[in-house]
Structures are given as structure tokens and as C-alpha cells.
Amino acid sequence: MSQSKNNFVDFVRIYCKSGKGGSGSKHLRRDRLTAKGGPDGGDGGRGGHIIIKSNRNKWTLLHLKYTKHIKSPNGLNGGKSLSTGADGNDVVIDVPIGTVVKDIQSDKFLFEFDDDNQKYILCKGGRGGKGNAFFKSSTRQTPRFSQEGENGVELAVSLELKVLADVGLVGLPNAGKSTLLSVITAAKPKIGDYEFTTLTPNLGMVNYRDGQSFVISDIPGIIEGAHKGRGLGHRFLRHIERNYCLLFLISIEDENIGKTYEMLLNELGLYDETMLQKKRIIVISKGDLNNNVNERKAILKNLPKNIKCLFISSVSTEGLSDLKDELWNILN
């Protein structure tokens, strides 16, 4: 579970209980003109459901951080004159796209939200009981009983968020990932000249031309052995599982850029093979530290030819506009 120094919450546990159905009524009709009327007890209302719904305007589970229990109201009891009890109101929990719901007790997967406005009924409200009027028949004209409402459902669930960004930044610690995010988006991640500055993922939106935009995620640096849990990367690799495109960011100061790229790729593949099916782009960062044309050529020679490779600098802004174009092309 990642804790929220920067308000990024990607895991919560909630205990949920849906409302009980209202009881059916046992009422017998009585009024000034009728001394012994027939059964007219109405049905109970349904208990409120607990529904989880995806909402594209939510980015984290922060709003649920302090929510430990959620209960939906009971249905109301049925009444006389065949009046049906009101249903309990449904309780709707909004979550970001990319949220996975699991039953804590059995660790069973329940649902994954992969689009906006999807609804999943987590706990059904109990059905309302039938009133005595329902049980009336030719052989039983005056039933003096009715049905109890059905109980609600209790469930302890975990909600886990897999960030849904279009582009995921992948690189060693200190490669300049957060800096890049800070210059091409409005995000203000922490930047530092030491390793593991970033402890939890950051998201930023790149405003591209004509009001178009795409989302980039910055995760903690990945080091060799990350798939086995070394460093911090492992805990966050699931956040790039859903990215469409991976941006491998490697510093121009790295002594063996080709090898670092292979290492990063290898770690991702060992974590989950499907990571290797994503679109990729290699970006050499901190270009302001080395403008030597021949050395740059040599770097390119050691990198795979079938993948686009760019030089950028977040300091001088070299290549940033080309990078945005390139990412836009890949995404579309």
C-alpha cells in the first residue's frame, strides 16, 4: 500500500453493508363502511444497493482514504391500502478508471473498471417482503401473515488503483523523469539530485495542439531486480501495466545507454510479459550536458534501430516539442 505524502492514494479497504428490505405489511382493511375488509398490506421496499461507479474526473482513491464503512439504508416497510414501502437509496462510490475491486476475505477478483461511467453493484440491497395482500387466494382469503424483508449483503473489499495514463515514464532513479513531467505538464513533482526522490506516482496532463491532451505518469525509478522487489519500482510497476506507451528515459551521462535500456526492458518483461507488447520510445535526457554530435551518433548506434530515439533536455527545452509530437503520433 502506498501512503500519501503527495495525496496519491492507490489502495483502500472498505467494509460495506447494503440495506435490508422492508417487511411486508399484514394489514387488514378497516374503515367506517367495512368492518372486516380483506388483506391490504403492501410490500416492503428494497434495501439500498451499494454501487461502485467509474468517474473519469477522479484520479486517485484519496476521497476514500478515511472511509472505513459504507452502509446503504434499509427499505421501508409496506403499509395499509397496498402501499409499498419506499426503496432505500442506493449509495454510489465514485472511483477512478483503472480501479480493481477484490473481496478481501477470499482475495477474489470482483471487477475492474476500464472505462468511464461503468457501474458495478457491489452489495445488493435486500428484497422487500411481500405484504399479506400478495398471499391472498381463493382458498385463503384472509392471510394474516406477510414476508420479512431480505437481509442486505456484507462484504469487505479492497479497491486498488492502476493508474491509467497514456504514457508511462520508465527509467533509473535520477534519470530526470520528474523533471520532464514538470516541464511538459502542469504537475509539480518533487525533483532531487539523489536517487528515489519520487516515492509515489505522479500524473500530469500534456496539453497538445487544438485542446487535445494526453496523460503521462511518472513512477519511482526502476533498478535491476525491481521485478523481485528491489528498490521501489516493483510496487509501482502495476501502474504502468495499463499505459499504452512506455517512454524509456535514460540520462546522456549514463555510461552504457544500450545496456541500461536492456536492463529496464528486462525488468519489465520479468514482471509481466505483456509489458513488452506496449509501444516504446527511447528518450535520452539531459542533452544540455553533451552536445557532441559524434558522441550522440555513437549512442544511437548502440540502440535498437526499430524504436524511435530522441535527445531532449528539460533544462534547455531541446527536443521537447518533437517529443510531444512523437508521443501524439504513437497514441493516435
Ligand X SMILES: Nc1nc2c(ncn2[C@@H]2O[C@H](COP(=O)(O)OP(=O)(O)OP(=O)(O)O)[C@@H](O)[C@H]2O)c(=O)[nH]1
CA distance 289 to 127: 69
CA distance 332 to 319: 20
For residue 267 the three cell numbers come to 525488468
* Identified binder of Mg ion from the candidate list 2, 83, 118, 197, rule CB under 5 A: 197
Closest CA to 241 of 327, 161, 323, 312: 161
Total residues at interface with ligand X (CB under 6 A): 24
The yes or no reply on residue 6 touching Mg ion (CB under 5 A) is no
CA distance 126 to 70: 16
* Nearer CB in complex with Mg ion: 90/218: 218
Binding positions for ligand X, 136-175, rule CB under 6 A: 171, 173-175
Q: Are 7 and 62 in contact (CB under 8 A)?
A: yes
The yes or no reply on residue 320 touching ligand X (CB under 6 A) is no
Q: Which residues contact 107 (CB under 8 A, 6 or more apart)?
A: none
The interface mask with ligand X, positions 180-199, x = CB under 6 A, is -----------xxx-xxxx-
* Nearer CB in complex with ligand X: 193/210: 193
Tell the smallest beta-carbon distance from residue 5 to Mg ion (Å). 13
The yes or no reply on residue 315 touching ligand X (CB under 6 A) is yes
**Three-state DSSP class for 294?**
helix
Does an H or E element contain 326, and which?
helix 320-331
* Nearer CB in complex with ligand X: 195/224: 195
> Which residue has 513488452 as its cell numbers?
276
* Nearer CB in complex with ligand X: 81/292: 292
The yes or no reply on residue 198 touching Mg ion (CB under 5 A) is yes
Residues at the interface with ligand X (CB under 6 A) = 171, 173-179, 191-193, 195-198, 220-221, 285-286, 288-289, 313-315
